Structure 1
Amino acid sequence: MDTLIDKCIILICCSITLIDGSISVLPVYVFVTAFGISCLNTYFDQSKVTVLTGCFYLLLCFLVPPFCLLLPLIFYDFFTRKFWYLSVIGVAACLRYLTIDFQPMHLSILVYFLLSFLLCYRTDTFQKLSHQLKISRDNSRELNLLLENKNKDLLEKQDYEIHLATLKERNRIAREIHDNVGHMLSRSILQTGALLAVNKDNNLKAPLLSVKDTLSSAMDSIRESVHDLHDDSIDLYDTIRTILKDYKTYETTFEYDMSDNIPRNVKYCLIMLIKEGLSNIVKHSDASHIVILVREHPSFFQIQISDNGNPLCKASASHGIGLENMQERVQALHGTFRTSIDNGFKIFASIPKNT
């Protein structure tokens, strides 16, 4: 757009020198030719086109000197492409025209040469600065995006570490309750039973039985609480990674995309599926690569276990007790279970949420 504005300014200024008051079609030819060549150079924006059209117009300037009156418009393309040799030839053609037909008004052509150069220099400088500004802006945006991604990764890592620390603390509390409180309650129950065995006073028998029942009830409650703490403290990702450590002889690909709030029964189901699936691969497959995908969707959980083993080797394993147990475990959670033989053996299961 800046280049078009510059050319319009030069064209208007040079057109003034064409007005001489005589009735002639030559100024029209000069105007149309210079305007057409300038439009071609702007449209194609190629060095070869500028050289060809420029040489053609310079030839016209030597053959028909009045064409020099609009030479500053052509010079703008020379300056843009830095064709200084063509500019020198154009200046020579202009000086020749001034010596042949000198008029004071024609001296303004030299001023328009300078104007063409200044406008070209200004536009070129502005475009370079604009390009640098865009590069700086893009780099700044890229850096901001990188920083945002890094901050997001740090926050996710921090949240995961907090979650993992919470699970470890739950495990520690469960062990403490089991080892200390559980043992003391067990000892108290045994001591109460011993007192009942040696007691000869019938008046104390009922209170001792009541104490024993209370201790047994407390023991059951603590046992359930410990089991709940332990079950909730299971980290599915770490558990799967730990299972895969026993299969280092295989090339494994593990993709995990699950939230932290996974129901306990779903965790145990997925862990069982992975253990049984890996066991089947070891027993019935000649695979070398195992792929495990565990994903959470808005309405269901999904798991896929596949390998690159020979399908013929898998045919005998497509209907086994292990697969039946896997299917029963998934169906107990109202899920779907499928297997397929396609470039290896695949196990696919989906479990709906809120089961």
Structure 2
Amino acid sequence: MKWTHFWHNWSIGRRMVFISMLPVAYLFCSFIWYSWFSHRSLVEEELSERGRVLARALAETSEYNVISGNLADLRLTIDGLVQTDRSIYRIDVLDAKRREVVSVTGDAGRDAEQRAFEAPIRKQMIWVNLFQENGAPHVTGSSDSKPPTMTMEEVGYVRVTMSPTNMMAKQVARFRVELAMAALALMVAATLAVLLARSMADPLRMATRALRKIRGGDYLVTLPVTSGGELGELQASIGEMSVALDRSKQDLENKVEERTRDLLESRNEALRADAEKRKLIQKVNSIVEDERKSIAVEIHDELNASLIAARLESQAIHQLADKLPPGPEIEEIKQKSQAITKLTLDLYASGRRLVRRLRPEVLDMLGLHGAVEEMLRHYNSGGACSFEFESDGEFAKLGNELAISAYRIVQEALSNIMKHSTASHASVRLTMGDDTLDIVISDNGGGFDTTLASEGIGIIGMRERVVAMGGDIGIRSAPAEGTTIAISLPLAVS
């Protein structure tokens, strides 16, 4: 799991200490947190209880002093109370309109957080009706059913502001004692964890040293059993393993030698098969080009010649028809002869295009540089994609077979750009070096994911041609980032 990666480089001793101390440290932190929280809660609860009780008590005992206006005695009483109890920060007595009439502030807890508790000072009043409903004086009797009326009136307020400083100091002292005891327990646990880790780590170190010797080739290692349980079994197993390894070493070496001979024979056979495959592909390409050349010559010399003869004959028929007297049959003969002439011209043009595809004449006349330039000029004249051509080097020394293969590779790449890329711009760069012919074809089309998409027939054909010529091909593409094909062909084909 990813969360355990942090201790991959730890020793077994550190891991044992960590495993042993982790729950102890968790308990220590939980205890300290709970102790501190309980002390703070105890202070807050006691402070709240004392503040509320004190406010109610002062409110009940201050009724007469507030009503009579005897504030001096009330101040003395409050001042003595503040001096006696250091948890009281301030006591304020307010009148009914919440105006301050008495205020006494203590010395403790000025910088601490204060908590205020307030209680109302109520004046009790009893109303007695001295007259009956008819206006006659009221005489008390056994038949009286209306008790005297009692009302409460708030004549002031007592506000007690408590400070937790004094109580908190006592609780902090207790907390420090608890912290010291918990820290001592933590130290004892850490010491025991270290001792336990050492008791397990030392036998493992001895086993590790023995295994390193075995890895270095010293199989006869003597490892004493110094511990019990699983560690003792591990030490005994390592000793037994060293003897077994020494026995099987020779057998393994013999098998390795035999397997190595088999692998060398398989490798040589694969190299021979690969060389034969390259020669076969090169031979097939050569035969295909020769057959294309033969078909092109046949179309050029025979079919085109026959088309020229047919065109001349149709023109002769048209000329003879002109010498005859006009008539509907003569006009139809002229139209038929013109149709034949146009048909022969179209067939001748189609034949010329087919000849250029089978065996481009410009490749023989202008070489690879001129043929590729003429191809790009043809693509630029009738498409939405603009093609750019760059070249560097002297192409006159390029062999005929290599020039044909390079031309076919460029032709296939440009055909793929026109069919599949939806690019608006593409470029072809030919570089003639001392030992290699480098071809770089790139476009700004849709591209494809090379890790997911399978290669099409066009790319497979280009790759086979490059392999047959002993070259290298690299394809770099990504969705919406275009495609770049880099090809390197050796000038001397092996």
* TM interval, short-chain normalised: 0.3 to 0.5
The structure number with the bigger radius of gyration is 2
- Relative to its length, the structure with more strand (as a share) is 2
- Relative to its length, the structure with more helix (as a share) is 1
Superposition TM-score, scaled by structure 2 size: 0.29
